[in-house]
Amino acid sequence: MGKDEKQIGILGGSFDPVHMGHMGLAQETYDKFGLDQILFVPVFQSPHKLRTPLASTLYRVEMLRLAIKDNTNFSISDAELRREELSYTIDTLNYCELKFSDSELFLIIGCDNLLDLDSWKDSRKIMERCHILVASRPLQKPFSPGDKVLGLFNGDSPYRLGKVENGMQKFFHRETGRRLVVFDINPRNISSSAVRKKLAQGKPTKNLLPLEVEAYIIKHQIYQTKFQLNTG
């Protein structure tokens, strides 16, 4: 991995709304891995969730813009929104490889995503072509990174075990050398559904949201009339 190549972290999600958990994950990953940029990629419709985001694409992009406006190392891609179809990571990776052809790509996911990573569309191609950074919260249900990563595809994992360094468990793709790294982040017990519930009930969010994002949501009453449609 040459540092002359720009290193870009890709963080996808509904961001419905973007909250301090998302921002903390982005900043910690940026710092821990010395990345050059974090690219937030709001989904149009996740293939792993039954419902569509409650907030419109316009609202979700504007909330992200407000959340990152003071950080020049953070940016937004609307690639998945413009496709207006199920948002598959492989399609976003294809797009980013073309747009950032002189860069190395780092897919940022939570360890809950790791548990079903081998079921994703073209998951083997994803593992071959980009580094994967798996954020683990220390207070969540413990799991063995080695057992899970080496157990991908019913034991036919493309990864070999690497070292534990600075609290990070590393794995390496057997063919391409791409890394999969499981690392701890500061625990933040925040979920978008819990934030939406507080907003719909008019309760204070107690620093769960960037201040300008909260003000924007309140001004436009984004979740007040839609909360009854939320199932999670």
Amino acid at the residue 152 = L
Burial class (CB in 10 A: 0-12, 13-18, 19+), 144: exposed
- pLDDT at res. 140: 58
CA 136 to chain centre: 12
pLDDT, average across residues 132-161: 87
Residue 215: CB partners within 8 Å, gap ≥ 6?
Answer: none
This prediction's pTM: 0.91
Query: With 90 as the cut, is the pLDDT of residue 154 above it?
Result: yes
pLDDT of residue 227: 45
Amino acid in position 83: R
Split at pLDDT 50, 70, 90, the class of 138 is low
What confidence tier does 141 reach under pLDDT thresholds 50, 70, 90? low
What pLDDT score was predicted for residue 188? 81
| Residue 231 pLDDT greater than 90, yes or no | no
Distance CA 168, CA 182 (A): 6
What pLDDT, on a 0 to 100 scale, did the predictor assign at position 232?
40
CB 10 within 8 A of CB 199: no
Indicate the range of 6-10, 31-35, 111-115, 159-163 predicted with least confidence. Answer: 111-115
pLDDT score for 116:
92
Query: What confidence category does residue 16 fall into, taking pLDDT thresholds of 50, 70 and 90?
Result: very high
Residue 214 pairs with which residues in a beta bridge? none
Entry field: residues in the chain? 232
- Using pLDDT thresholds of 50, 70 and 90, give the confidence band for residue 206: confident
pLDDT at 1 over 70: no
pLDDT at 169 over 70: yes
pLDDT at 153 over 70: yes
- Provide the pLDDT confidence category of residue 5 given band limits of 50, 70 and 90: confident
pLDDT in tens, 209-230: 999 999 999 999 998 764 444 4
| Helix intervals (H) in the chain | 20-33, 57-68, 79-83, 89-99, 111-114, 123-129, 145-150, 192-200, 211-220
Q: pLDDT of 21-71, one tens digit each?
A: 999 999 999 999 999 999 999 999 888 776 778 899 999 999 999 999 999
